[in-house]
Amino acid sequence: MGVAHFPFGHWPVGHFDGWHFAGAGGYLAYLGAGDEAGDVDFTEPVGGAQAGTGAIYLSGLGLAADTQYIIALRGVSDAGVVEEGTGCTCLVLVTAGDELEGARPNPLSSASAEQAAGGKLRVAFIYSRWAEPAAALKVQIAEVDGAPDWESPLAEVALNASGPTSWSEVLDDSWPHETGVILALRAVTAGGVAGDATTLDEIAVDAVGPDPLSEISAEQVS
């Protein structure tokens, strides 16, 4: 099933004819409730983009939960002539959590782990909301034992409501000295939809300090 994200730019819906949405040739998006091309309202576009761009981001559509919608895309010429095709469509279903079925949050931009004192690990990550198909609420950090234990994550980090989130903290959990630990991180929406996980390389924890010092001396300096 497709989602309401065509990889083109964000265009607000306004009181313009279809030509104003796409500028000098491009694409127009149309919406309808249903699952067939005949359900699409081709009288008024809901968004568009110029030719050569990569995505159309649709907003302010007022989609209802648990309702099937169909989105159609048509090309428009430099002269403002819109094609009459009905074959370029995708289906969109909004879940009860106000998310698009099949839409997932972004993968993490970066993630890393390093040793910390007492057999603990410091984990850092960056999450970006740029072109986010589904809004992430938090990032889960889980230990991998064959597979990530998402049912009992080591930590869940709330994300900034807007803009990127850069996070770095020492986890509460600790492991015996020289234990090899593999961690995985993923972004999750409020409705529990997860993005692609990032699995880090195995790291050996350090729970033992250096050997005790055996000698010390002091001397006068001028």
pLDDT digits (tens, 9 = 90+) for 62-83: 888 878 888 998 988 888 888 9
According to the model, what pLDDT value does residue 24 have?
59
Selected residue with higher pLDDT from 1 and 158: 158
pLDDT classification of 220: cutoffs 50, 70, 90? confident
Residue 9 has pLDDT above 80, yes or no: no
End-to-end CA separation in angstroms for the chain: 79
H or E, element range at 21: helix 18-22
Q: 3-state SS of 128-149? A: CCCCCCCCEEEEEEEEEECEEC
Selected residue with higher pLDDT from 34 and 20: 34
Compute the Cα dihedral for 107, 116, 146, 150 and give only its sign.
Answer: negative
List of domains in the chain: 5-93 (no CATH), 110-204 (2.60.40.2470)
According to the model, what pLDDT value does residue 98 have?
65
With vertex at residue 157, the alpha carbon angle to CA 156 and CA 158, rounded to the nearest 5 degrees, is: 120
**Chain centroid to CA 167:** 16
pLDDT classification of 149: cutoffs 50, 70, 90? very high
pLDDT classification of 199: cutoffs 50, 70, 90? very high
Q: What is the mean pLDDT of residues 13-26?
A: 50
CA distance 37 to 89: 7
According to the model, what pLDDT value does residue 208 have?
82
According to the model, what pLDDT value does residue 101 have?
67
Asked if 187 and 107 touch (Cβ cutoff 8 Å), the reply is yes
Q: What is the pLDDT of residues 176-190, one digit of tens each?
A: 999 999 999 999 998
Which residues face 199 on adjacent strands?
184
CB atoms within 10 A of CB 69: 21
According to the model, what pLDDT value does residue 65 have?
80
pLDDT classification of 209: cutoffs 50, 70, 90? confident
* Alpha helix (H) residue ranges in the chain: 18-22
According to the model, what pLDDT value does residue 144 have?
97
CA distance 167 to 126: 6
CA distance 161 to 126: 14
Selected residue with higher pLDDT from 120 and 76: 120
According to the model, what pLDDT value does residue 99 have?
63
Residue 18 has pLDDT above 50, yes or no: no
CB-based contacts of 14, cutoff 8 Å, min separation 6:
20
